Structure 1
Amino acid sequence: MQHHTLSCCGGVRASLPPPPLSFRWSKIKREGGRRLPRCARIAAQLELKPPPYSLSSLEPHMSRETLEYHWGRHHRAHVASLNNLIAGTDLDGMGLDEIVVVSYNKGNPLPLFVHAAQVWNHDFFWQSIKPGGGGRPSGRLMEHIERDFGSFDRMLEEFKRAALTQFGSGWAWLVYKANRLDVGNAVNPCPSEKDNKLVVLKSPNAVNPIVWDYSPLLAIDVWEHAYYLDYENRRADYVSIFLEKLVSWEVVSDRLDVAIERAAERAREDETRRQEDDAAVTHSEAVEMYLDSDTDDSEAE
């Protein structure tokens, strides 16, 4: 089979088969020179997930040509490179979220971080948009936007500013920030913000907010390859069309519900641990008082 070599960000090159629009990378273990059946596979490699719509269904706002290049080649190359890098390592079989956080390495990224994070980011990006998107959110999402930004229009302004001022390649995000940081020397992009609120932020290259333990709700890819075929160097036009015609606010709303429940569950876990720690301290103090009392009685005798 003829193979093609593709370049992807970070300067890594991956050898790929001619790209059908759907495929699955799989690994078959060998044992004693015998190929094991698929049901005995130890760990499946990560898949290239297709967008939840046809490649031409976002036109005229995002062309089929852009998706064929951006998803069918660029995203595909990251999946292939990541699978090559994790094969036979301790990361093989981990979930993609785990690989991203582990390979971020507390702000000193391991070489495979770019590929892991870009696979995660692109999966998230394709799910964030839909044919006939845009408009305005409603319900809990709109309530939180108005509470945390003052208005929907103000949030859009901040999101556009983040996307347009991200120097070079990167991403802009709307996230739910619960601020449970334990990531070593990683920089908290909003250290003075209060917990449990929506914030807009931007990140360079492949970095995404899960490394800061935030819950992403919406992302826009501002790498040039995401928009150049359709908008050339007019990033501002691309960002405006993304917000006005492509965003799936229903998906963003569902993500917010999950993020809020995640934060609530963690709060319950923290309270349970606090009560258990208090009970353990109380028990320890009671035992210590008993032993002290027993010693005093013995000395009295």
Structure 2
Amino acid sequence: MADKILITGATGHIGNRVAEILKDYDSLRLMCREPEKLAGFTKAEKVKGDYKDSTSLGNAFSDIDTAFIVSGYAAPGQRALLHKNAIAAAVMAGVKHIVYLSFQGASPRSKFPMSQDHFQTEEFIRQSGLSFTLLRDSFYMDLIPEMFGENRLMKGPGGRGQVAWVAREDVARTIAHVLLDPLPYQGTFDLTGPEALTLAQTAERFTQLQGKEYIYQEETITQGIRWRNDLGAPAWEVATWIGSYLAIAAGEVAPVSNAVEQITGLKPFSLETYFTQFPQVVA
């Protein structure tokens, strides 16, 4: 019998795409808070699960061999504790292997608050005694249009730091590959695109690709905090936004990895090939 695979966060961007790739797999369970949204996955088992609800996690992880744990959404510090609940459920259920989607540069000293949470989650996984694969993706190419916004202007204290932008599609297919055969890929892998670009270079390349001017504007930390606070976002979200740019400036997401090709056998998308093949991402 094939190993039973669990995909958490199955309605999210990454979880849903991984589920699509594996939709014909014979023993697949999909977990999310609203399983009715997964009606299109006729072959998979759908279960309700929430990282805050230990009972639901126990049901979701029961009889699972390989589990994909995607990160939840909460304030820094709280996210890692939510992930700890999922890891504990995996241990209790006797899961053989965990695949966790972490973040490039995960460290207790990262400028990006979410990276600190990812590092803490990685530590929980290491302490669990389970076999694991930690996939640390860089910032998603898919977020570039959102970062520029309708005015095609990106502002932040990113300096001349580089980003090894990676397509969500590359991340999803790498996860799917590992879930199908996890043992050769135990350990930690960075998932990046084929090159690293500064934010100014990203704007230039996007301008050439779209035929419209995109601009990156450097700003101070104080300036960045001020206008983001004016949007009415919670303080922790503002700190996270600013921290993402500070991590870029510090070079945390600049290293380029060959892990996508190593694992999938396919070269990762460049910025131009991705947005040419998936123009709807810009719309």
**TM range, normalised to the smaller chain?**
under 0.3
- More strand, by proportion: 2
- More helix, by proportion: 1
Larger radius of gyration: 1
| Alignment TM-score, normalising by the size of structure 1 | 0.24
| Alignment TM-score, normalising by the size of structure 2 | 0.25
